[in-house]
Amino acid sequence: MNGDNHNNLYWHAPSITVHDRRRQSACRSCVLWFTGLSASGKSTLANALSKEFHALGVKSYVLDGDNVRHGLNKDLGFSHEDRKENIRRIGEVAKLFVDAGLIIMTAFISPYREDRDNVRALLHDGEFVEVYLKCSLETCERRDPKGIYRKAKAGQIKEFTGISAPYEEPVKPELTIETDKMTTEECLKSIFDFLVEKGYLGAELFSQEA
Amino acid sequence: MNGDNHNNLYWHAPSITVHDRRRQSACRSCVLWFTGLSASGKSTLANALSKEFHALGVKSYVLDGDNVRHGLNKDLGFSHEDRKENIRRIGEVAKLFVDAGLIIMTAFISPYREDRDNVRALLHDGEFVEVYLKCSLETCERRDPKGIYRKAKAGQIKEFTGISAPYEEPVKPELTIETDKMTTEECLKSIFDFLVEKGYLGAELFSQEA
C-alpha cells in the first residue's frame, strides 16, 4: 500500500484474480451440478463431499433448497417460468462462487435440459461439471425420505418430477453416478477420482487422505 | 466414510458448519457493506482490501455492479421496485457467502436506509458491517472517474443519487470512513483496525503484515 492523495482515491492496485484465488484454495474452482430425481442422493453426496473437501483444506459450499428457496428465490413459485428463473439465479450465484475460487455444489432436481445447458453456457469451459445421479424411480420411491413420492402419487403434489412431470436425462454429463448400484462410499470415490483425474484437485492433496 | 447399503443413501454425516468454515478461513465471516455516493471509493477500497485479505490467507470476495448487474440481476432495471429487488438479492447472496465462511464485500451506492436495513435483518448479529464512505458531493463530482456526474448534471442520467435522487445517510453505521479527508492507506488501516478490534480478524494475522 502506498500513500496517495485523498482527492485521487481511484488508485488501482492490480486486483486479485480468480487464478490467485484458486491457487490459495488448493483447487480449480468449478460447479459440481448434481442433477437427478428427488431422493437420488444429491444433497447427501454434496454434503459428504463438502466434508471431505474441508478436511483437505479445499473451500467448498453447497447450494440447495434450504438455503436458496427460503432466501434468494423466496419470491419464486413453481410455474414453468419461475422454475426456469430459479435455476438461472442458482447458476449465476454458482458462477460468483466459482469466481471466488470455491468448489460450489448445487443440489437441485433441475429436470430440464435447456435450463442446465443455460447454466453451462454462463461458465467457462471446464467450470461446469454436470453430475447425473442416475437412480431408478423405484429406488427413489422406496427411499422417499420426506414422504413426498407418497404425496405425489396421492395427487397431493402436482407436477412432481418422475411422477407427473418429466425428468430430462443429461445427454453428455461429465459424470454419471448410479446411486442405486453403489454404496455412498463408492459414489464419493468416483467423484473424487474424476476431480483428481481432470485436475480440479491436485493428486498430492488427495494422497493426504490415504 | 463407512460403507453403507445402496438402498439407504440417506446417510447423514455431521455436516460442516459455518463455524468449521470460519475456523479454516482464519476470519469471522461477515458482510462489509460499503455504501456511499458514486465515486466515494467503494470499489477501490473493497478491491484493495481483497488484496490485503488474500495476502493474509483470508478468503474474501467483492460483489459489485460488474459481476451482479450483468449476471444475477440482469433482468432488473432502475425503477424503485427493481432497485429494491437488486439490493435484496445482493443481500441474500452476501448471506450465502457469509455462511460459506468468507468476508464478502459489497460495493453498491445502496442509497435507501430501508433497503440496507432489510439486508441487516437477513443476517445474524455482527454479520452485517455497514461501512459508510462519507465524501462530499463536491469531491465525488471532481473525481467523477466515469464521467457520470457530468452526464447526470446535463440531465442525461435520470434519478442519479446526489444530483436528482436522494442518498439517505446511515444512522448508525458500524464504521464511517471519510474518504475525502484521508488517504487510501489511512482508509484501509481504519477498516483493518476495526476488523481486528471487533474480532473479525485475529490480531495475530494482522501482525504478520508488520
Instruction: Look at residue A208 in the predicted model and tell me its pLDDT.
Output: 46
For A54-88, write each residue's pLDDT tens digit.
988 899 999 998 899 999 999 999 888 999 999 99
Q: Could you tell me if A71 lies within 8 Å of chain B, comparing CB atoms?
A: yes
User: Comparing C-alpha atoms, which of A113, A107, A184, A64 is closest to residue B8?
Assistant: A184
Q: Could you tell me if A92 lies within 8 Å of chain B, comparing CB atoms?
A: yes
Between CA A77 and CA A163 the distance in angstroms is 19
Is the separation of the CB atoms in B27 and A206 below 8 Å?
no
Between CA B36 and CA B133 the distance in angstroms is 5
User: Comparing C-alpha atoms, which of A141, A143, A147 is closest to residue B4?
Assistant: A143
Is B111's pLDDT higher than 50?
Answer: yes
- Please, which pLDDT band fits residue A210 given cuts at 50, 70 and 90? very low
Instruction: Look at residue B12 in the predicted model and tell me its pLDDT.
Output: 44
Q: Could you tell me if A122 lies within 8 Å of chain B, comparing CB atoms?
A: yes
CB B182 to CB A6 under 8 A? yes
Between CA A178 and CA A181 the distance in angstroms is 6
Q: Determine how many CB atoms are found less than 10 A away from the CB of residue B189.
A: 13
Pick the catalytic residue: B43, B50, B110, B207? B110
Q: What percent of chain A has pLDDT over 70?
A: 90
Q: Could you tell me if A188 lies within 8 Å of chain B, comparing CB atoms?
A: yes
Residue from the list A9, A100, A139 with its beta carbon closest to the beta carbon of B61: A100
Is A209's pLDDT higher than 80?
Answer: no
Number of Cβ pairs closer than 8 Å across A and B?
160
Element (H, E) at A62: strand A60-64
CB A89 to CB B97 under 8 A? no
Element (H, E) at A134: strand A128-134
User: Comparing C-alpha atoms, which of A168, A173, A198 is closest to residue A103?
Assistant: A198
Q: Does domain A18-205 have CATH number 3.40.50.300?
A: yes
CB B10 to CB A44 under 8 A? yes
Instruction: Look at residue B162 in the predicted model and tell me its pLDDT.
Output: 92
For B153-209, write each residue's pLDDT tens digit.
999 988 899 999 999 999 999 999 999 999 999 999 999 999 999 999 985 554 444
* Closest chain B CA to residue A45: B9
Is the separation of the CB atoms in A100 and A29 below 8 Å?
yes
Q: Which of residues 154-183 of B touch A (CB under 8 A)?
A: 179-183
Between CA B24 and CA A57 the distance in angstroms is 7
CB B72 to CB A50 under 8 A? no
Fold of B32-203: Rossmann fold (3.40.50)
Between CA B33 and CA A202 the distance in angstroms is 35
Give the mean pLDDT of chain B. Answer: 89
Domain locations in chain A as residue ranges: 18-205
Is B9's pLDDT higher than 60?
Answer: no
Closest Cα in chain B, distance from residue A67 (Å)? 8
Instruction: Look at residue B209 in the predicted model and tell me its pLDDT.
Output: 43
Closest Cα in chain A, distance from residue B151 (Å)? 19
Is B7's pLDDT higher than 70?
Answer: no
Instruction: Look at residue B206 in the predicted model and tell me its pLDDT.
Output: 46
- Please, which pLDDT band fits residue A10 given cuts at 50, 70 and 90? very low
Active-site residue set of A? 110
CA dist list (Å): B51 to A8, A30, B206: 19, 22, 14
- Residue whose entry in the numeric block shows the C-alpha cell 430430462: A168
For B28-81, write each residue's pLDDT tens digit.
999 999 999 999 999 999 999 999 999 888 999 999 988 999 999 999 998 889
What residues of chain B lie within 8 A of the CB of A14, using their CB? Answer: 51
CB A185 to CB B54 under 8 A? no
Please count the helices (runs of H) and the strands (runs of E) in chain B: 9, 5
Instruction: Look at residue B79 in the predicted model and tell me its pLDDT.
Output: 87
Is B97's pLDDT higher than 90?
Answer: yes
Instruction: Look at residue A205 in the predicted model and tell me its pLDDT.
Output: 53
For A140-177, write each residue's pLDDT tens digit.
999 998 899 999 999 998 889 999 999 999 999 999 99
Residue from the list A7, A16, A67 with its beta carbon closest to the beta carbon of B96: A67
What residues of chain B lie within 8 A of the CB of A1, using their CB? Answer: 48, 52, 184-185, 188
Q: Could you tell me if A109 lies within 8 Å of chain B, comparing CB atoms?
A: no
What residues of chain A lie within 8 A of the CB of B1, using their CB? Answer: 48, 52, 184-185, 188
A31-40, A96-105, B197-206: least confident range: B197-206
Residue B110 among the catalytic residues: yes
- Residue whose entry in the numeric block shows the C-alpha cell 444433497: A43
Is B133's pLDDT higher than 80?
Answer: yes
Instruction: Look at residue A15 in the predicted model and tell me its pLDDT.
Output: 78
Residue from the list A9, A13, A145 with its beta carbon closest to the beta carbon of B143: A9
